[in-house]
Amino acid sequence: MTRRVGELGAAALRQALAGPGLRLRTGPFVYCLRSRLEGVAEGLAAMYADFPLSDSPLADFHLTVDRMPGLRGHWRPQVNAWLDGFAPFVPLPLEHGYALLEWAMNFCVAGCAHHYLMLHAACLERDGRALILPGAPGSGKSTLTAALMLAGWRLLSDEITLIDRDSGALLGLGRPVSLKNASLDVIRERAPAGRMGRVAHDTHKGSVGHLRPSADSVAQVDRAARAAQIVFPRWSAGAATEWREHDRAEAFEILARNGFNYSLLGRLGFELVEGLIETCGAWHLRYSELDEALPALERLLQEGRP
């Protein structure tokens, strides 16, 4: 029977992280995670309790998040992340250790998983139909994603939409939703107690925290979905909820520009994005109130119009 992170207990979790590594499976990927940082262990216990462990000695990514060696690890202590011994990030303050782990896990997938087309977009599913939410920082994408998941939608990813190169199906990661600044308070009011992790303040993105994925999102992470609608959200303070159909050519261009590896895949990348544009509705959503946007998104998925 597959063991879960939450079944390990605090001592066993810390022992695995400090020793051979915690082999964590999230969607199609297995991470071997190592860290001696208390904040990393606490974050994994809080955010990944429902995730399965892998019994395989193999892992897709070997990732270490730990103190910098020498004085930088002790005087005004700093941490860094190493992927197979390579450090792609600059050192950060000790209290940013768990946030760095999440960023580094994203980096692993976005930089290496080229057997999928990867879009910088959130993805959720309801009744077998998936919604893709591309969005630049500040667009309200992650806030909308978190609210939809809390309303019962199945989270595939808040950051990287994976598209199978052969079937065009959408695959899930089910990992925590990253929230920043004002979004933290908005979602904290909606989230059940204990679902929000600790907040890292004064990062290069401001204040950053994470929302634990729903148990259903984790349990069904291996179930592929079919894209039905693409919505480009834009949060605007005080704005009335406004919808308009997106120009298809412009939607194609935005999706391609948001592809982590669109250019690398060449013709195949073009054909996969073209398939999305041909089979999905494309919409622009301007909103300020989640309680107006969420019912409209439900209608969009069920009826084809908001």
180-195: b or e for each residue (b if 16 or more CB lie within 10 Å)?
A: beebbebbbeebeeeb
In the predicted structure, residue 248 carries a pLDDT above the cut 80:
yes
- DSSP letter for each residue of 133-191: EE--TTSSHHHHHHHHHHTTPEEEESSEEEEETTT--EE---PPEEEETHHHHHHHTTS
Start-end of H helices in 27-96: 38-47
CA distance 299 to 139: 21
What is residue 194's predicted lDDT score, i.e. its pLDDT?
83
What is residue 136's predicted lDDT score, i.e. its pLDDT?
80
255-287: b or e for each residue (b if 16 or more CB lie within 10 Å)?
A: bbebbbbbeebeeebeebbeebbeebbbbbbbb
What is residue 69's predicted lDDT score, i.e. its pLDDT?
87
Q: What percentage of the chain has pLDDT greater than the value 70? A: 98
Token couple for 246? 């997106």
Average pLDDT, integer, range 247-270:
95
What is residue 30's predicted lDDT score, i.e. its pLDDT?
98
Tell me the pLDDT of the chain averaged across its residues.
Answer: 94
Tokens 């439900």 identify what position?
A: 298
CA distance 295 to 22: 40
Q: Which has more confidence, 69 or 99?
A: 99
In the predicted structure, residue 220 carries a pLDDT above the cut 80:
yes
Task: Name the nearest CA neighbour of 149 among 302, 297, 303, 299.
Answer: 297
The residue type of 178 is S
Task: Name the nearest CA neighbour of 50 among 266, 291, 217.
Answer: 217
- Residue 285 vs residues 56, 58, 118: alpha-carbon distances, Å: 44, 43, 22
Task: Name the nearest CA neighbour of 130 among 166, 96, 156, 94.
Answer: 156
Domain segments of the chain: what residues?
5-112, 116-303
Q: How many CB atoms lie within 10 A of CB 56?
A: 10
Query: Sign (positive/negative) of CA torsion 282, 249, 225, 63?
Result: negative
Q: What are 164-205's pLDDT values in tens digits? A: 999 999 999 999 999 999 999 999 999 988 899 999 999 989
The answer to whether 32 touches 22, Cβ cutoff 8 Å, is yes
What is residue 139's predicted lDDT score, i.e. its pLDDT?
84
What is residue 72's predicted lDDT score, i.e. its pLDDT?
66
Q: Which has more confidence, 110 or 70?
A: 110
| Parallel, antiparallel or unpaired: strands 226-235 and 281-287 | parallel
Average pLDDT, integer, range 27-37:
97
Tokens 């693409």 identify what position?
A: 230
What is residue 137's predicted lDDT score, i.e. its pLDDT?
78
Tell me the whole-structure pTM to 2 decimals.
0.94
CA distance 168 to 239: 35
In the predicted structure, residue 85 carries a pLDDT above the cut 90:
no
